[in-house]
Amino acid sequence: MNSSSDLRIACVMVGLPARGKTYIAYKVSRYLTWLGINTKIYSVGNYRRKMAGLNLPHTFFDPHNAEGVKKRHEAAACALNDMIRFFELENGTVGILDATNSTKKARAWINETLTKRNIQVLFIESVCDDENVIMHNIKDVKLSSPDYNNRDPQEATDDFMKRIKHYEEAYETVTEENLTFIKLINVGSQYIINMIRGYLESRIVYYLMNLHTRPKRIWFSRHGESLFNLEDKIGGDAGLSPRGEQYALRLPELVRQNIGDRPLTVWTSSMTRTIQTARHLDFPKKQWKALDELDTGVCDGMTYDEIANKYPDDFARRDEDKFNYRYRGGESYRDLVLRLEPVIMDLERHENILIISHQATIRCMYAYFMGLSHEQLPYARIPLHTIIELKPKAFSCEEKLYKVDVGSVDTYRPKGQTARKLKDDKFVDGKAVSSEGASGEIVDDKTPILPIKPINIAHTC
């Protein structure tokens, strides 16, 4: 992934411990990486652990502890230098410095070091005085960190609270008018923005204003088995098969057993099979055209056998680069990610959403939450007749699968599989006969999916 641009932005986290900085940093990184923007996180805490060791007492973080202050600054300097090398040697576009950066002196040093290298600096401060949120962050993230390996949870909590007190003693909130910053207050209840410059910074800020750090879950389900699934046809607007209808009938009970009585909202695509799957669910529903299946263009309604026969070169090229391959008159996975970006924004804003959609569409959203690469994304397993529950956390995303006992075909096609035929609800290798050649194209993968600068349109007189 390259930006093909000299634009470089350092997102510098600011905030007391347990305010959700690491969660925000990882979410921003996953979002930008999902959009093809070369992004990397530099955690000063990891550098400090390598340099000063684990299980440090809370007194190490006392601002009056000269040796502790010195070692923490050395760790910050190492992280900052590595981030600069990322920009200069790895064609990085966005680097994220994850640390407290809690004093004006520290921020001035970071800003001066980066700006003299023509790197834009965006400070992201997370402010929170909600004790419930703070305690949740401590238990959910901090107690599982290497700093507290094999420590009694209560003892570790007490120690960490003392660590916070040390940081509070020296903490200075961002008020510097010469800095570019966004301040997120109490889990997104208020924002303060200063001197945002340029298109990509604006996109990052817009994302942050849609992001909430409170715990949440998201649920996905493909439509019930369709008539086209039975025939191994792609695209189209087929209705449900008899087994797909059974899944639709049993879906309300599957939801009740595993999601409970949460006030769900159901999002579907505009296609028949998702609407039919959702029709027995007694929840508010919203149709999104953006949730429609990947547009397969001239191959719409064809089987994989037919595509392999009619367009053998395409069949091979798509297998070579499935993420960037675009059907003639249709879409690539790359295009689908861009189409789904507004849906992701809405998902980050809302809670208790069940999305009923399609294999490729869910793969793209699943990859965003799970941090999958563009190479992994088109091969994510999204089985029929299953609810996928995702619970985003600071460093990862927990996944649970809830299945219903209704059979279905396995539509998964592994890399390298040629034409295929159905056997015992699984598609196995078949034999293809070459014919016409190619119809689609491999999209350039050297530029980000989301433009990092506005697109200039030339006007002629």
Burial of 391 (0-12, 13-18, 19+ CB in 10 A): middle
In whole angstroms, give the CA distance from residue 125 to residue 102. 9
| CA dist 303 → 223, 243, 248, 411, 420 (Å) | 19, 20, 25, 12, 9
What the block records as the tokens of 354 is: 């069940």
What the block records as the tokens of 145 is: 């960190």
DSSP-assigned states of every residue in 43-94: EHHHHHHHHH-SS--GGGG-TT-HHHHHHHHHHHHHHHHHHHHHHHHS--SE
3-state secondary structure of 459: coil
434 Cα distance to chain centroid: 39
3-state secondary structure of 399: strand
Q: 333-361 b/e with 16+ CB inside 10 Å = b?
A: bbbbbbbbbebbbebbeebebbbbbbbbb
Q: How many residues does the chain have?
A: 461
DSSP-assigned states of every residue in 122-140: EEEEEE---HHHHHHHHHH
* 47 contact partners, CB below 8 Å, separation of at least 6: 75, 76, 78, 79
Tell me the catalytic residues.
98, 223, 293
Contacts 24+ apart (CB under 8 A), 375-382: 375/323, 377/323, 377/333, 378/322, 378/323, 378/333, 379/322, 379/414, 379/415, 381/412, 382/220, 382/222
Residues paired with residue 356 on neighbouring β-strands, in sequence order: 221, 268
Give the end-to-end CA distance of the chain in Å, rounded to a whole number: 37
